[in-house]
Amino acid sequence: MSQLNILTLPDSRLKTVAVSITEINDDIKQLAQDMLETMYAAPGIGLAATQVDQHIQLVVIDVSEEKDQPLVLINPEIIEKEGIQTHEEGCLSVPGIFAKVKRADQVVVKYQDIDGQHQELAATGLLAVCIQHELDHLKGIVFLDHLSLLKRKLAMKKLEKAEA
């Protein structure tokens, strides 16, 4: 296993829309393991393949306190949404920036697991937020895109100052 480089804004590759995975082979399984290692080391609770410059529909998540419940979602798709929650979000690709984002309170996501089996998962709370956040990355969307233009500009200025 190895840690991967995480892309950060304003890198335009974060806007790339991911393509479906047609075959779950050893390369995909290795990438998932490397993404988990990268996510845990960062530290974070979710990572999309887009964030490590792999533009395929692969997401890893672990919202457990012990960091021992990794989820690997291949070709994930939210098929149900319900309710609204506002949660303060951050992102490994937007270091040091946090903002309140409105998202669905409950989601059902269908996906393939690392063995290619089709699964469905109902999620609420932090897991629901994380799933929506990571699936946005697969569409080329970062959480700042959910903010007003003013808040987005302020966040980008703060990010630019931090890099300077």
Q: Please give the Cα distance from 74 to 21 (Å, whole number).
A: 7
- 134 catalytic? Reply is yes
Question: Rounded to whole angstroms, how far apart are CA atoms 151 and 33?
Answer: 35
Closest CA to 56 of 30, 39, 72, 75: 75
Q: Which of the following is catalytic: 37, 134, 160, 163?
A: 134
3-state secondary structure of 70: coil
H helix intervals, the chain: 26-41, 125-138, 149-163
Query: How many CA atoms, within 13 angstroms, populate the side-chain half-sphere of residue 147?
Result: 19
**Catalytic residue positions?**
134
